[in-house]
Every structure is written in structure tokens, then in C-alpha cells.
Chains A and B, each alone.
Chain A
Amino acid sequence: MSEAASAAQGRPARRRSLSLAVLLASLAPVALLLLVLVSLGVGRYPVPLADVFSVLVAKVFGQATSLDPAVQTVVLNVRLPRVFGALVIGAGLAAAGATYQGLFRNPLVSPDILGVSAGASLGAVLGIVLALPVAAIQGLAFAGGLAAVGAVYAVGLAVRRHDPVLTLVLAGVAVGALLGAGISLLKVLADPYNQLPAITFWLLGSLASVNTGDIAAILPATALGLVPLVLLRWRVNLMSLGDEEARALGLETRRLRPVLVAGATLVTAAAVSVTGVIGWIGLIVPHVARLLVGPDFRRLLPASMLLGAGYLTAVDLMARTVAAIEVPLGILTALVGAPFFLWLLAAGKRGWA
């Protein structure tokens, strides 16, 4: 094929995507830092930005400060864990979503596809109905998320069909439906005055009650889950070719797939156990990141994480400042995510280029 003939195809070389990526790579961390500072400075309790800095500086250097203890509480115990939580959870959910989209060869897949959110929800709802302390509710949610994906994977292994990926998806649908039925049953049995509202709020997702203890609890699981995603980042590209081609190229997909699924699931289960179900981040953010930096997972992963962290921080900022009451995060992310999704469907071309 001669050069002239290919040029006649009409598409210029995609140099611009490379320079765009470089630009984003340098600007994005800066933008994120700015967003973090804004989030720390804004809230319903009036704190001047200078005081925010003073409190942070004093904490970092271990100095005493003469500032009002309430201000210190607001900055260090309310806003800081919340913003940090938004960063970690937003990045984690986006990373999990990007991984699943590659594994399942579908840009419209979310981390919930294998039932991790349904399992975590069942665990948490059970904890609420049994009136357990918060730590136990979170632990049950985490365990429930892992168990659900484990069950789906076990079904996938037991049913030896030609397409292992499709089998996983279908098993995920079935197990997810079963878990949803369990959640509905628990809702019926719950005390409607005390427990049912708590269940409803949990299922809608919120960062309002995140404290430093929660962050400390989810960091190890999130970090552990991210390790295989980072180490295998180039191989995820190959996994997106499908099981047969990936194996033909030399990948042991039977071993790689569960490792990647386990990593993404750990990250998602940890996030959901603390915040409840926040949808659309794992679906929309990797998609936008792919539009910006391309599908190569070596660039897609960090881009998704940055975007996810920023997106959730911004959404949480809105959730806690628009009104005296908290707007549940799940509602806000759906209000933004669903129209965007519809626009993608309408404007999307074949191949999702």
C-alpha cells in the first residue's frame, strides 16, 4: 500500500493525540491540587482560606496553634478525610472501571458488572438490619463485595463454555439479581422507622460520614488491589483483544484474568464499604479518559485515576455545599453521568474512536 494511497484515505496522522496527552499529563496534577485546596477551603462552616493553610501547616510540622478548635476540627477531621477519601475512592473506582472495560472489551462496562456493589450492599444492609456497629457494617460490606465476585467467578469456572468472558458477565447478572432480591427481602424485614431510612441513605452513597479511621481502613486494600493493575498494565491491552487472541499471543489468560478481576474488585469493594454505592464513576471516567489519551492502558490507568479523583472531589464539593442537607452522591453522579452516557450513545461511532 503506497503512501499516496493511504493519505487518500483522508485521516491525518494522530500526532495531536500525543501532544494533548503530554499537555494533560503536566496540567492534570496541578489542576487536581487546586481542586483539593478549593475543597478544603469551602464548606458550610465558614473558614477563611488563610486559616485552612495555618491549620494544615501546623499539623504537618506538629506545632500548636491558637486557632479555634472548631476550625481545626472542621479542617482536619471533617474536610481532610473527606477530600482524601474522594481522591482515593474516585481514583480507585475509575481504575477498576478502566480495567473491567479492557477485560470485557466493552467501553460501557462498569465495575458493578460482576456484582461487587450488589454484594457489598447486601453485606451492609444485613449489618444495618442486625443493628451492628459501623465498623461491622463496613466489614460486612467489604466481605460481601468480595464474596459476590468470588461466587460469580466460581460459577464462571464451573461452567466451561467457549467464551469465558461472556460466561462471567451472565453469571454476574444472575448473581447480582439474586443479591438484589436478598437486599429487597431485608428491606421488607427491616424496622421501617429506624433501619429503613438508614438503608436507603447507605444505598444512595455518601462521603458525609467518612473519617480518618475509614481512610486508614481502606488504604491497604486499595493499594493492594492497584498493584496488579499497575504491574500488568501493558498486558491489559492484550486482554482487550479477546481470550483467544490473547492466548495466541502468549498470555495465560486463565491466570491473568482472575488476578486483574481480584485487583479491581478489592479496590471497588473497599470503596463501596465506606461510601455506599456510587455509580457512574467507573463507567464514565475511564471512557472520557480514553477519549483524551487513547486506549493504551499504560496511559489510560493514570489518566483515569487522575480524572476519577478530581471528578469525585468536585461532585462531593457540590453535594455538601449546595444545601444544608447532604445530596447523596449517587444521585449527583447519575444526574451527570446518565445524560453523558446518552450523548455518547448518540454520538458514538463504531469502534469508539
Chain B
Amino acid sequence: MPLLRCLLALACLWPALLWSCLAGSCLAAARPFTDAAGRRVEVPERVLRVLAAGPPAAVLLSTLAPDRMIGWPRAPSPEERDFLAPALRDLPATGRLTGRGGSANVEAVLALKPDLIVDVGSTAATYASLADRVQAQTGIPYLLLDGSFKATPETYRTLGRLIGTPEEGEALAAEAEKILKSVADAVAAVPEEKRPRVYYGRGPRGLETGLSGSINTEIIEAAGGRNVAGAGAGGLAAVSPEQVLVWNPDVIIALDPDFPKLAAADPLWNGLKAVREGRVHAIPTLPFGWVDAPPGVNRLIGLRWLAGLFFPDQFPQTLGDAVRDFYRRFYRVDLTPAQLDRLLRDAAGPGPAR
């Protein structure tokens, strides 16, 4: 009877064996990963549908793996659509999960069935705890990656590996490194006094600015400029025209496309050195802002642009070529001459005042 007993034991135990096999294979199918905020996240083996939690993540994802994107946090405007790859134009709006004003409906997120949620930006405790909450509520792994400018190549490589596009991730990381390095080399050679003093103007009358240290203006320093609003505290602030006159910047970059024309005509501004010399530039924003809206990898071309503005002799390649290459490589878009012209026109500014 020992054989019968053995068979009986096996018959009772087989569900447990089966379960442990299955569980084991499931566990094997998810890879544990520690994200940039130090959180342990179980990333699935096959990642086919990725949700971007906010605009910087969306930009990154659209450059790295557009076929795996399931939506934009905010639907692109008609103008922005023209500058996006056809496959990306009609993705639905999914809302933002975190950051300034989360507007995503959690049930809608679940309905989209993403395999992974990716957020690129600050890794501070607030955002880490928000990530934990969303992950716990939805059961979908939520990755928080470093969105700081210098970490761009690293983030590309990491995300490429995780979602199964390591070659593309490596390639884009290398491109980003190329841009960062070329700018850093050009800037390193320039002494402090020769670096241009830059005023970043936004808001209805150009009187809102980003203080040095804020994420809005970090590429100004990276490009070798000196932000005149040098409080070092970060953030945005309002200033009076008098203060701008005191600062007397060498270069003005403005978010409002009409600002260069307005400044040339307004007696408050046209006495400034920058306006007289025509060094007032509107920041191109299509499809994503070149300087800060959003603070993502879209700033790479802005970095190249600003460095070229500040130190023209150091960059033999024309801006037009650099822009065309960037848009083709990163945004997968071939710019028409009209589109390129529009971007360059904003970027170049009106020229010296007559």
C-alpha cells in the first residue's frame, strides 16, 4: 500500500504544485527594478503599452518608443500636431497623473490597460509617495525617472532597457551626449565675463521671469549664459521694467512670439542694449518648447540653439541643419521648408533695431 499512498498524496498535492509552477513563472516574468526615487518596482517582461504620467515623460517616450505610447497627457493643439509624426498625432488625451494639477481619471487609466506607467521629473519624496499611491491603487507598475537635464542620456538608456528597446535607447542617449558634450566643450573655454547675461521673459508683458536655479531656466546656464535674475532660489517671479533696465541684459529670450516686435516699439524696452542690437528672440514652441515647456528632452535642441546664439563661432553647423537633424532623429519628423523657416524665424529674432 505504500505506492497507493504515494499516488494519493500526489493527487492531493498536484494543484499546489501547479500553482507554484505558475506563480514561479509569473515571478520570473516580472523584473524587479529600483527606480530613480529608490522605489522597487516590478517591471513586466513584455511592455507593449506605456502610459506617460506627465508631459516630460510623454516627450521622452515619443522620442524613444512612439509605437508603445497610448496617449498624450494633453491633446496636442492643431499647430503642434503638424510638427508631430503622423502616428503620434491622433493619440488620445489621458490627463496628467501627477505634477502640477493631476487631471487623470484613475478609472480611465485602468481602462487603457497600460503595462507600465512612466513619470520623468523630480524624484523628491512628494512625487515618490504619489507614485506609490497610484501604483497601489491601480496595480500598474509606476516608474519614476530622473528628469534633470544632465541625466538625460542615463534616463534614455534605463527606459530603453526596461521597455525592450535598448538599441534605440542607446542611440538616443549617444545623440544626447553628443549635443551635451559639444555645448559643454564650447562653454568650458569661455571665461565668466564673456558669458552673455540673459533675461528670460514670459507672461503678458514679459515681466515674469524664471530665477536662476529654476527648472525653467536651467538650460540657460547649461548653454553658458548667465541668468540676470540671479536669486538662485528657483521658481518664477514678477519684476518691474525698472529692474530689467538695471540688469540691462545682453540677450532676451521670450515666450511670447510677439514680444520681439513689441519690445522694439515700446519705449520701456527699446532703450535696452539687447533690443537695440536685435538680440531679442522668441522661443520656438512647436511641437514642444525649446527652453522649458515641458522641462524634458525637448530642451536639447534649445540647448544647441542658445549655445549657438551665445557663442556663434564655436558651432560651425548652421542652426537650420541642427534643427532638421534633431527633429528627424528625435521627433521622427521631416520638417518642410516652411516649418523650418517658421521655427528659425522665431529663434533668430527681428535683428538690430534701425
Contacts and interface: CB of A to CB of B under 8 A. Distances in A.
B271 to A, nearest CB: 5
Nearest to A328: B238
Interface in A274-330: 320, 324-326, 328
Given A188-B101, A188-B103, A198-B208, A44 B293 contact: no
Contacts of A45: 242-243, 245-246
Interface string B227-238: 001010000111
6 contacts: A46-B246, A77-B241, A192-B100, A193-B294, A325-B231, A325-B238
Contacts of B289: 193
Contacts of A191: 74, 293
A325 B205 contact: no
Contacts of B243: 44-45, 320, 324-326
Most A Cβ at <10 Å: residue of B99, B205, B238, B289: B238
Contacts, number: 96
B336 interface: no
A100 B237 CA distance: 34
Contacts of B204: 128, 133-134, 137, 198, 209
A302 B289 CA distance: 51
A227 B211 CA distance: 45
Contact of B229 (A74, A82, A187, A325): A325
A44 B246 CA distance: 7
Contact of B205 (A43, A73, A134): A134
B344 interface: no
Interface residues of B, number: 35
Interface of B: 55, 74, 99-101, 103, 202-205, 207-208, 211, 216, 229, 231, 236-243, 245-246, 255, 258, 267-268, 271, 289, 292-294
A224 interface: no
Nearest to A189: B103
A65 to B, nearest CB: 14
Q: Is the interface of B mostly helix, strand, loop or mixed?
A: loop
B101 A208 contact: no
Given A191-B74, A193-B292, A326-B240, 5 more contacts: A44-B242, A77-B268, A193-B293, A198-B208, A208-B239
A209 B205 CA distance: 7
Contacts of A198: 202-204, 208
Contacts of B207: 208-209
Interface in A204-253: 206, 208-209, 211
B97 to A, nearest CB: 13
A325 B237 contact: yes
Contacts of B236: 197
B263 to A, nearest CB: 13
The 7 closest A-B pairs by CB, nearest first: A325-B237, A193-B293, A192-B100, A326-B238, A208-B240, A209-B205, A78-B242
A326 B268 contact: no
Contacts of B239: 208, 324-326
Interface string A172-200: 00000000000000011001111011100
